[in-house]
Amino acid sequence: MILVLAYGAVLLSFASGLLAMMMNQRQHILDLSRYWFKKFPSANERCQPFIADSLEEKQFPVLLRQTVFVLLGLSGVFAVLAGLSVLIGKVVVTDQLSLGLPWLPWHVRFDCLSGFFFLIVGIATTAVSLYGSGYVNSYDESQHPFAVLGLFTGLFVAGMLLVLLADDAFFFMIAWELMSVASYFLVAFQHENAANRRAAFIYLLMAEVGALAIILGFGVLASFADGFTFSALRESHLSTTWASIAFMLALLGFGMKAGIVPVHVWLPEAHPVAPSHISALMSGVMLKVALYGLIRFCFDLLGDVHWQWGVVLLILGTVSALGGILYAMMQTNLKRLLAYSSVENIGIIFMVLGLSMIFMANGHPQLAALGLLAALFHAFNHALFKNLLFLGAGIIHHQTHQLNIDMMGGLIKKMPKTSVLFLIGCMSISSLPLFNGFVSEWLAFQAALQVDVLDNGVLRSLIPVAAAALALTAALAAACFVKVFGLIFLGLPRSHHCEKAHEVQDTGMLAGSSLLAGLCFLFGIFPGLVISLINNVAGQLLGETLPNDAALGWLWLAPVSAKQASYAPPLVLIGAMIAGCVSFWYLRRDPATAIRTAETWDCGFGGLTHRMQYSSSAFTMPFRRIFAKVWIIDEQIDKDMQGAMNQDVAAVHYKLRIEDHSWPRLYHPIGHGVNKLAQVVGRIQTGNIRVYLGYSFATLLLLLWVIS
């Protein structure tokens, strides 16, 4: 039954992709239906007008689009149901598909870990499909055909679901490549821009290099096992060295997909250029699939984890979290900013995962379960709020044709509903209490504070520092999203487009975002709902759950023991409502003190304009100064002079370019190296046929010598 749901999800997403291909086949469908109905004259009379009606020239694309997204949404719902049923049932289901090569059937295994990620993919896909049909309306069919978008969206979702189902290395890689390649086409969807093509190429390149590393990682494992099925790989016994090599390869491969610093560079390139609902899926979900791969590889397949790996994850995660948010803060393109913020959140997840590994290797499986729980819960939360923010960015782009936050402003009055949804996303990602982001961060702190149980002095001083870095990250994230919300929605409109913007009309777009916003709030107040599910994952994966199941009731959250730490979000919510209502009621009862509106105080000079507001670069100036070494900052101020002796300033031009250190430090040297190598190799290519014949002859001689 569970597998039927899971397969159903996969098949439905395939079906939605294939159906999208019908976009340009209206005439064929019409002919086909006529042909079929000729055989049934009675049905013909009743159905023909209906079909002809709905397949009318104008109606057809709308109907087809809606059907495609309904199928995609159903796929999401099926995935959620499959995930929930396996998580609640705590079962493991296996199957063999007679697909693929005859002697290599595809193995399928569906356990709690897969189920949990199914849940993430499912929720995100459902929200995106509600949102999608309204969003893709704005694309010009002749330039950006829906057939392409719909097909690859379906394949992309199917690929992600198959990765989660795979139980042998071959199937895993095939699904992985399906996911990567389908998303490449989605990134390259608006390929008329050279920048978009470049972004898509970088993405494809890094995805393939990552895939190579993963294949090599599986290869290392497989050389110690008989066969490529995961159950065979689990049995393999590796020496510490080989296990570490396999771990490093997997970390490189999955880390590249997940966007860990320094292999994160494709994210800020690819996310802004893809359509918003696709960026939402890529950032919210695909990165999580990479995370799934890493967890599956390390905790499940490799078996015994080493604390050194945990330290590697911890350090990489800390660097990514801090780097990600600092880079995010400097961006002015909203989607680029969100992409960097994904780097930050993935960093946090890796950090906590590293903690979990350290605890596991030191023989504290309960604390490892706590760490894993925090990591998975944060992954879940990030999927919700990052999806929400990307969908919100899509709405803003749809309505204002702008992604530059320095050109926005004042949208809170023009787009009241969107602004509330976006605010919820900003509050969740800034990890404010009452929202889900806070709970996972709180759990991460709780895991980090259990460091006293470790014997290793270095670890005991390293982990608290990482926890402090986490605190810094959270505070910087709050600053970053104050900037985002403040510049986009508050203040005066900074451009003509924003002044004329109005609320989005499509209910689906708002419904998709509202679903996610509602879940962000729900799981902020009742985190126990998800945590008890994740506890089952930890039980299956680590063989250990959190100590006191009773303490994880719906009201209280006490991960270690009630004496150590507890948090009761519902009570906090009640307290907040009481305090808010009492002060509100008390202060508003006197009608003599009704609010009076007046002009903004302009210090008596008159004429406040939008140019006088703080801009993005002004808001982040103190950060630029404090953390100056983090970026490559190119700041230029040119003044146009006029008047006698050129003494008066007529205009000031301010230019600010901020770049990522990883390009000049890492990628350009690699690029140069490859070019150099190519030149060296190129020397043997003389272009002269006699020389080539000589090469062949020499090779032949060499081979003969080797054989004899």
Partner 1 sequence: MGDQLMNWLIAVLQTILFVALAPLLAGWIKCCKCRLQNRKAPSIFQPYRDLIKLTHKQPVVSEQASWLFIKAPYIIFSATVLAATVVPLIAIDLPTSASADVIVMVGFFAFARFFLALAGLDIGTAFGGMGSSREMTISSLAEPAILMAIFTLTMTASTTNLSFAISHVLNEGLILRPSFVFALAALVLVAVAETGRIPVDNPATHLELTMIHEAMILEYSGRHLALIEWASQLKLMLYGVLIANIFLPWGIAETFGIQALGYGLLAIMGKLAVLAVILAIAETLVAKMRLFRVQEYLSFAYLLGLLGMLSHIILEASR
**443-502: which residues touch partner 1 (CB under 8 A)?**
445-446, 449, 451-452, 455, 457, 460-461, 464-465, 467-469, 471-472, 474-476, 478-479, 482-483, 485-487, 489-492
Residue closer to partner 1, measured from CB, 21 or 492: 492
Interface with partner 1 in residues 275-334 (CB under 8 A): none
- In angstroms, give the least distance from the CB of 217 to partner 1: 35
Q: Does 695 bind partner 1 (CB under 8 A)?
A: no
- In angstroms, give the least distance from the CB of 115 to partner 1: 30
- Of 474, 481, 416, give the one whose Cα is nearest residue 442: 474
* From candidates 442, 521, 523, 631, binder to partner 1 by CB under 8 A: 442
Give the bridge partners for 655, in sequence order: 636
Half-sphere exposure (CA, 13 Å, Cβ side) for 30? 14
> Which span sits near partner 1 by CB under 8 A: 186-194, 362-370, 589-597, 677-685?
589-597
User: Can you tell me the distance from the alpha carbon of 357 to that of 359, in angstroms, rounded to the nearest whole number?
Assistant: 5
Half-sphere exposure (CA, 13 Å, Cβ side) for 42? 0
Interface with partner 1 in residues 90-109 (CB under 8 A): none
* From candidates 590, 606, 645, 696, binder to partner 1 by CB under 8 A: 590
Give the bridge partners for 333, in sequence order: 404
> Helix or strand or coil: residue 507?
helix
User: Can you tell me the distance from the alpha carbon of 54 to that of 61, in angstroms, rounded to the nearest whole number?
Assistant: 10
Tokens 């406040």 locate to 608
* From candidates 47, 568, 656, 666, binder to partner 1 by CB under 8 A: 568
Q: Does 652 bind partner 1 (CB under 8 A)?
A: no
> Which span sits near partner 1 by CB under 8 A: 49-57, 184-192, 309-317, 604-612?
604-612
Q: Does 563 bind partner 1 (CB under 8 A)?
A: yes
- In angstroms, give the least distance from the CB of 594 to partner 1: 7
* From candidates 3, 104, 315, 412, binder to partner 1 by CB under 8 A: 412
CA dist list (Å): 439 to 27, 434, 546: 54, 8, 16
DSSP for 316-380, written as a single string? HHHHHHHHHHHHHHH--BHHHHHHHHHHHHHHHHHHHHHHHHHHHHTT-HHHHHHHHHHHHHHHH
Residue closer to partner 1, measured from CB, 258 or 444: 444
- In angstroms, give the least distance from the CB of 413 to partner 1: 6
Residue closer to partner 1, measured from CB, 264 or 483: 483
> Which span sits near partner 1 by CB under 8 A: 39-47, 380-388, 405-413, 539-547?
405-413
Residue closer to partner 1, measured from CB, 452 or 638: 452
- In angstroms, give the least distance from the CB of 209 to partner 1: 35
What is the phi/psi pair of residue 642, to 5°? -150, 180
* From candidates 36, 614, 692, 697, binder to partner 1 by CB under 8 A: 614
* From candidates 89, 100, 433, 539, binder to partner 1 by CB under 8 A: 433
Six-digit token string for 450: 């259990």
- In angstroms, give the least distance from the CB of 440 to partner 1: 12
Q: Does 599 bind partner 1 (CB under 8 A)?
A: yes
- In angstroms, give the least distance from the CB of 69 to partner 1: 33
- Of 147, 6, 4, give the one whose Cα is nearest residue 75: 6
Give the bridge partners for 262, in sequence order: none
Residue closer to partner 1, measured from CB, 579 or 691: 579
- Of 399, 397, 611, 619, give the one whose Cα is nearest residue 494: 611
Six-digit token string for 500: 């004329």
* From candidates 579, 632, 691, 701, binder to partner 1 by CB under 8 A: 579
Q: How far is CA 490 from the centre of its chain?
A: 27
* From candidates 1, 101, 550, 626, binder to partner 1 by CB under 8 A: 626
Residue closer to partner 1, measured from CB, 216 or 472: 472
Q: Does 680 bind partner 1 (CB under 8 A)?
A: no
User: Can you tell me the distance from the alpha carbon of 608 to that of 547, in angstroms, rounded to the nearest whole number?
Assistant: 60
- In angstroms, give the least distance from the CB of 581 to partner 1: 9
Q: Does 575 bind partner 1 (CB under 8 A)?
A: yes
Tokens 């680590």 locate to 542
Q: Does 526 bind partner 1 (CB under 8 A)?
A: no
DSSP for 441-467, written as a single string? HHHHHHHHGGGGG---HHHHHHHHHHH
* From candidates 347, 620, 631, 658, binder to partner 1 by CB under 8 A: 620
Q: Does 610 bind partner 1 (CB under 8 A)?
A: yes
What is the phi/psi pair of residue 430, to 5°? -85, 5
* Terminal C-alpha separation, the chain: 61
Q: Does 539 bind partner 1 (CB under 8 A)?
A: no
CA dist list (Å): 676 to 8, 663, 679, 685, 687: 51, 18, 5, 15, 19
> Which span sits near partner 1 by CB under 8 A: 17-25, 256-264, 571-579, 633-641?
571-579
Is residue 371 a contact partner of residue 353, using CB atoms and an 8 Å limit?
A: yes
Residue closer to partner 1, measured from CB, 484 or 541: 484
Residue closer to partner 1, measured from CB, 197 or 497: 497
Number of residues located near partner 1, criterion CB under 8 A? 84
Half-sphere exposure (CA, 13 Å, Cβ side) for 343? 30
Q: Does 600 bind partner 1 (CB under 8 A)?
A: yes
CA dist list (Å): 223 to 140, 175, 236, 342, 449: 51, 22, 9, 35, 40
* From candidates 62, 195, 576, 641, binder to partner 1 by CB under 8 A: 576
Six-digit token string for 615: 């801009």
User: Can you tell me the distance from the alpha carbon of 503 to that of 410, in angstroms, rounded to the nearest whole number?
Assistant: 12
- In angstroms, give the least distance from the CB of 46 to partner 1: 53
Q: Does 607 bind partner 1 (CB under 8 A)?
A: no
- In angstroms, give the least distance from the CB of 540 to partner 1: 29
> Which span sits near partner 1 by CB under 8 A: 8-16, 116-124, 224-232, 588-596?
588-596
Triad 187, 295, 457: Cα angle to 5°: 120
- Of 324, 318, 349, give the one whose Cα is nearest residue 464: 318
Residue closer to partner 1, measured from CB, 304 or 602: 602
- In angstroms, give the least distance from the CB of 535 to partner 1: 21
Residue closer to partner 1, measured from CB, 42 or 597: 597
Half-sphere exposure (CA, 13 Å, Cβ side) for 248? 6
Residue closer to partner 1, measured from CB, 361 or 479: 479
User: Can you tell me the distance from the alpha carbon of 438 to that of 255, in angstroms, rounded to the nearest whole number?
Assistant: 24
Q: Does 53 bind partner 1 (CB under 8 A)?
A: no
DSSP for 475-507, written as a single string? HHHHHHHHHHHHHHHSSS--SHHHHH------H
Give the bridge partners for 95, in sequence order: 108
Six-digit token string for 643: 């008047």
User: Can you tell me the distance from the alpha carbon of 585 to that of 565, in angstroms, rounded to the nearest whole number?
Assistant: 34
Q: Does 608 bind partner 1 (CB under 8 A)?
A: yes
Q: Does 628 bind partner 1 (CB under 8 A)?
A: no
Residue closer to partner 1, measured from CB, 217 or 437: 437
Neighbours of 215 (CB within 10 A): 18
Residue closer to partner 1, measured from CB, 593 or 708: 593
